[in-house]
Amino acid sequence: MLTETESQQRVLRLQEMLREKGVHAALLIMPIDVFYFTGTRQNAILLIPADGDPVMLVRKSLSRARAESPIADIRPFCSSKEFASVFSHDLVSIGLTYDAVPVQQQSFYTRALPGRSFVDISMMVRELRSVKSPFEVELVRQSAAGLASVLADVPNFLKAGMREIDLAAEMEYRLRKAGHEGYVRMRAFNQEIFYGLAVSSGGVNGGFFDGPVTGKGLSSAAPHGASTDVIRVNEPVLLDYVGVFNGYMADMSRIFVIGKLDPELQQAFDLALDIQEMVRQAMKPGVICEELFLDAASMAEKGGFGSCFMGMPGEQAKFVGHGVGLELDELPVLAKGFAVPLQAGQVIAVEPKFVIAGKGVIGIENTFVVTEEGGLRMSDLPDAIVFLEA
Amino acid sequence: MLTETESQQRVLRLQEMLREKGVHAALLIMPIDVFYFTGTRQNAILLIPADGDPVMLVRKSLSRARAESPIADIRPFCSSKEFASVFSHDLVSIGLTYDAVPVQQQSFYTRALPGRSFVDISMMVRELRSVKSPFEVELVRQSAAGLASVLADVPNFLKAGMREIDLAAEMEYRLRKAGHEGYVRMRAFNQEIFYGLAVSSGGVNGGFFDGPVTGKGLSSAAPHGASTDVIRVNEPVLLDYVGVFNGYMADMSRIFVIGKLDPELQQAFDLALDIQEMVRQAMKPGVICEELFLDAASMAEKGGFGSCFMGMPGEQAKFVGHGVGLELDELPVLAKGFAVPLQAGQVIAVEPKFVIAGKGVIGIENTFVVTEEGGLRMSDLPDAIVFLEA
């Protein structure tokens, strides 16, 4: 439950950013943005003026929004005629998150608020949300614990001969009973994910997903994650799952092998651990995100696995880590072209991985918080490959 | 797998609609729209000129798009400078689906294509997609069969004392092993759903969801579906799930009771069956969608349950059925204000339900195809409440 203090601090930080950019108000309409400031995910929008108190307008459910949110001024959604009266006349420049707001929604609000000018505040909102409070970090830690407890249980249900989808079903069953909420929200256009990936040989497939691994999936309509391929002995099985509890995510990957592992894959795995440790030590405020990716790519290259780092040749992702929080693809990104400094409190999933044609997918992923001492792990689950008897 | 003939028929139908409206080309960028015409869900866009052959531009994965799609002209995504050359100069009026396309995407394409005018073709695309081919109806039938097989198994795992979330986990485990793809895609802004609803007392809660039932959910970040409430004897348990196989959906609800049911709830259930049968008989081409809702609401009123039809007082949904296909909220909607005729081949989930404060949620849902003989059921699973021994 979002406290009043926490909600107010988030609002105050956004108001500072609005004043800095000369924007008079933020009109937040993406559900998860509204949730961030209000603590309730109803069908609602939130007006935050650069100075003054926020106003939440709720279509459905008003009673639930009022029960869940510490926002003082919560009103039923008004007709488009009355709409302008909610906005003081001196609020001329109004910000919307154009990265995710559909054109029809933008049209509705620009028509309802004639004479105002609208600007894109996507990056402002995403930057604000990228820095987590201690309260949020604790929720990420709880999600990591929930996910880790199921990953630790994998040796009890992973068997040779089961299909990738059977393994996914076992994972998801246990996650759900532990309270996993299911929704793995993503912000990027054209991206979607269902829980995560349970892949063996099916992992070596190209795909739409903006990560190192897409998976074969179940059909051309769901070409992502587990397939009906059978899991065999002596091949790596990647479990890359997102824990989602109380809206907050932790993203982790572990490798399991029934039998023995090809020495080349073991070598690549050890290199992934080295890259993870290099990034972890460097995850301090002020360090440039892009440099962490370039350093990681350079280590992969020197280790002899440059051409399969973060994806198959031709489909290699240009990042080694991504922000997580209420969405899976938050800021910052440890990526090429992302030449901005890390900030204390940012939460980042670091995931050095290799996709080796004909052999499989291998690597590691853990979620860390940026601190003055480097990345702080959100879970103590051991990184080592788990070998099971064939 | 989408055949070339099926893909071409869909393209030809859209081209007719474009010419009718004087739009020179459709620029489809929503993944599921692209999938509908191409049979592949990659990171790709599709240009369909009103006359001529479609061109697909693929960001990732090109090889997978080519392997899966019967579209002849599939190219790698080009730079924004080269982009205009893909579009013949006589394509001046270009359609985008403004209901779902984010503003940043619209800006990208309008900048890349200077001198063109852009129009909203959301309704055109949604209307086209609402009429299913025999191939699509067969896929919906298969999804209904997959879902029905798990619903038929419920008496083997539903027990008093389990939590709603435990019941959800059991349902979803079996669905997943049967090949359920997980993604329950919705088009409406601000809506989302995870599999469906497994609710008992938690069902009597308001919420953001645009359906008769939202459920309590697990937290204020996921205020929808199953909660940690314990399922008790002598109360209705609603399982409202979406089957998704090969991208296509069937939506069904059934009621289970451990022990005995309050006579008022049984009465409401019988009324729901009568309403479903009225709607089913009337689901013929030419019948006005709105009238089916008004007739249903009138039956609910006459039966004494008007104030809790399709939701709690104050939060009642104004529909009794919704189109399903590749998305859960397709056209048509059997709703107030939807004064358009039904067309043969439309697939509609009909879901008369009642939310009775202090007692529970009760009702039925099945997916039907509109035919000259009325609604054709996609599954033969019996409608009756399933009573289990306490």
pTM over 0.95: yes
Mean pLDDT over B58-69 rounds to 96
Shortest Cα–Cα distance, B276 to chain A (Å): 26
> For residue B112, which amino acid is it?
A
Longest Cα pair distance anywhere in chain A, in angstroms?
A: 72
Q: What is the mean pLDDT of chain B?
A: 96
- pLDDT for residue A87: 86
- pLDDT for residue A341: 98
Check CB contact of B229 with chain A, cutoff 8 Å. no
Residue A83 has pLDDT above 90, yes or no: no
β-strand pairing of B386-388 with B376-377: unpaired
Are the beta carbons of A147 and A252 closer than 8 angstroms? yes
**What burial class does residue B298 get, using C-beta atoms within 10 Å of its C-beta: 0-12 exposed, 13-18 middle, 19+ buried?**
middle
Are the beta carbons of A214 and A224 closer than 8 angstroms? yes
User: Which letter, b or e, does each residue of A137-156 get, where b requires 16 or more Cβ atoms within 10 Å of its Cβ?
Assistant: bebbbbbbbbbbebbeebee
Mean pLDDT over A172-188 rounds to 98
- pLDDT for residue A349: 98
CA distance B364 to A101: 35
- Give pLDDT tens digits for A5-53: 999 999 999 999 999 999 999 999 999 999 999 999 999 999 999 999 9
Domains and CATH numbers, chain A: 4-129 (3.40.350.10), 131-388 (3.90.230.10)
**Residues of chain A with C-beta less than 8 angstroms from the C-beta of B357:** none
**Residues of chain A with C-beta less than 8 angstroms from the C-beta of B225:** 182
Band of the pLDDT at B83, cuts 50, 70, 90? confident
Q: Of B172, B220, B245, which has the smallest distance from its Cβ to A176's Cβ? A: B172
Smallest CA–CA distance from A211 into chain B, residue: B60
- DSSP secondary structure letters along A148-170: HHHHHTGGGT--TT-BHHHHHHH
Mapped onto helix, strand or coil, the DSSP state of residue B102 is: strand
Minimal CA–CA distance to A345: which of A369, A368, A325?
Answer: A369
Residue A356 has pLDDT above 80, yes or no: yes
In B, residues 316-355, which contact A (CB 8 Å cutoff)?
326
In A, residues 124-183, which contact B (CB 8 Å cutoff)?
165-166, 168-170, 172-173, 176-177, 179, 181-183
Residue A212 has pLDDT above 80, yes or no: yes
Band of the pLDDT at A84, cuts 50, 70, 90? confident
Q: What is the mean pLDDT of chain A?
A: 96
CA distance A42 to A60: 6
Residue B203 has pLDDT above 90, yes or no: no
Q: Of A64, A176, A208, which has the smallest distance from its Cβ to B207's Cβ? A: A64
Mapped onto helix, strand or coil, the DSSP state of residue B30 is: coil
**What burial class does residue B205 get, using C-beta atoms within 10 Å of its C-beta: 0-12 exposed, 13-18 middle, 19+ buried?**
buried
Residue B82 has pLDDT above 90, yes or no: no
Structure tokens at A354: 């290799």
- pLDDT for residue B202: 75
**Residues of chain A with C-beta less than 8 angstroms from the C-beta of B247:** 219-222
| Triad A172, B187, B204: Cα angle to 5° | 65
In A, residues 255-294, which contact B (CB 8 Å cutoff)?
none
Shortest Cα–Cα distance, B31 to chain A (Å): 6
Band of the pLDDT at B286, cuts 50, 70, 90? very high
Shortest Cα–Cα distance, A282 to chain B (Å): 31
CA distance A49 to A28: 11
- Give pLDDT tens digits for B85-108: 888 889 999 999 999 999 999 999
Residue B305 has pLDDT above 80, yes or no: yes
CA distance B115 to A255: 52
Long-range CB contacts for residues A73-78, cutoff 8 Å, separation at least 24: A77/A44, A77/A45
**Which residues are registered as beta bridge partners of B257?**
B236, B387
- Give pLDDT tens digits for B215-238: 999 999 999 999 999 999 999 999
Alpha-carbon Rg for chain A, nearest whole angstrom, is 22
- Give pLDDT tens digits for A281-292: 999 999 999 999
Which helix (H) or strand (E) segment holds residue B241: the answer is: strand B236-245
CA distance B371 to B389: 40
CA distance A150 to A170: 10
Count, in order, helices (H) and strands (E) of chain A. Answer: 10, 17
User: Which letter, b or e, does each residue of A325-342 get, where b requires 16 or more Cβ atoms within 10 Å of its Cβ?
Assistant: bbbbbbbbbbbeebeeeb
Mean pLDDT over A222-237 rounds to 97
**Which residues are registered as beta bridge partners of A75?**
A57
- pLDDT for residue B313: 85
**How long a stretch of residues is chain A?**
390
- Give pLDDT tens digits for B149-200: 999 999 999 999 999 999 999 999 999 999 999 999 999 999 999 999 999 9
Long-range CB contacts for residues B213-219, cutoff 8 Å, separation at least 24: B213/B238, B213/B240, B213/B311, B213/B353, B213/B355, B213/B361, B214/A61, B215/B164, B216/B164, B217/A181, B218/A179, B218/A181, B218/A245, B218/B165, B219/A181, B219/A245, B219/A246, B219/A247
- pLDDT for residue A256: 98
Shortest Cα–Cα distance, A366 to chain B (Å): 23
Number of A–B residue contacts, CB under 8 Å = 204
Mean pLDDT over B27-46 rounds to 98
Residue A247 has pLDDT above 80, yes or no: yes
CA distance A26 to A87: 11
Are the beta carbons of A303 and A265 closer than 8 angstroms? no
Check CB contact of A70 with chain B, cutoff 8 Å. no
CA atoms lying within 13 Å on the CB side of residue B78: 15
CA distance A23 to A148: 42
